[in-house]
Amino acid sequence: MLLRFFKGTGPAVIFLISVTLIAVWTGAFIKLKDHFSLYFDLDPMPLYGVLSKIIGTNPFPGLIFTLVLVSFMAFLTVNMNTSLFFINERTFLPGLFYILLSGLFPQYQLMNPAIIAAVFLMLAIRQIMEAYRIQGTAYSFFDAGILIGTGSLFYANLIWFGLIVIIGIALLRTGNLKEIAISFIGLVTPFILTFGIYYVLGKDLRDLQTLVEYNLFGKLTSYAFTRITIVTLVFFGLVTLVGIVYIFMLQNTKKIKARKTFSLLFWIFLISMGVYFILHSVSVEIIWIAGIPVSYFLAHFFVYVKKKIVPEIIFSVLFALVLIMQIWYLK
């Protein structure tokens, strides 16, 4: 019954998703006094450093800001499917799953640059897919590069997702070298401007270079996974893999644009996993970015799976595990 209700599109569904958002984030407000600094608070990227100074040291405004961004991301995930229609059904499930995924690591439910970077990545994905069947040079790839480059000035490791612009060109176009060039120019432009501003202000450019290198390759303290976190991640991971397999099984039944959209999302998922396991500078905050494709994989699975009882049970377990993690965090 729970899945059947959330698969609807009425006002009641929006209301219950809002209630879910509050339930998932209530613990963050209750534990506000236990707020602690993460590595990106100590040596932040330039734009994140400016934003942190504007918001101040009080964690409450930062938490409100983050909650607004999560709500906005939930809206964007739903809106992108409504616009591109690659799931082929209007549904609020992508937004719901992004909210649930935001609760997997309660300690990271605070202001951080990865959620800001996720917004820029979502907007970049939209720009990439706008290039589909455009005649002539698609300058939206330049826009996508600009967005990812700007997001990298908040969260440095978003720069690796510049690869999806090139992948998007390979998926959607015929190998236009001009589009590859303008996408690269777009990607580096925010950094060139930042270095230029540092130079004009008389700041040491080597300090900026060191800051970027630290955020890209510095070694972080490993995240301590609890048993409930491991169980939840394994369950989410297994359902996600099933969702990916389900997409591949239905590839031939989808329109070309839908197939290419899912292919782009799959590459984002692979890059997310790659940077997490390869780079020491990436921790579980990558969930904000990896949550984008995972939300769509899960939503597609639950929309199209034909069985009734098993999907209901799986969905209810996913829902319950996130809520249990929040309760566990409050103990």
Q: What is the pLDDT along the chain (331 residues), one digit of tens a residue?
A: 788 899 988 899 999 999 999 999 998 888 876 666 666 777 899 999 999 999 987 888 999 999 999 999 999 999 999 999 999 899 999 999 999 999 999 888 888 999 999 999 999 999 999 998 788 888 999 999 999 999 999 999 999 999 999 999 999 987 678 999 999 999 999 999 999 999 999 999 999 999 999 999 987 767 888 899 999 999 999 999 999 999 999 988 899 999 999 999 999 999 999 999 999 899 999 999 999 999 999 999 999 988 889 999 999 999 999 999 988 887 7
3-state SS class at 223: coil
pTM: 0.95
**256/147 Cα distance (integer angstroms):** 26
> Tokens at residue 236, please?
């989410």
Q: Which domain holds residue 207?
A: 2-330
Where b means 16+ CB within 10 Å and e means fewer, 195-218 reads beebeeeeeeeeebeebbebbbee
Total domain count, the chain? 1
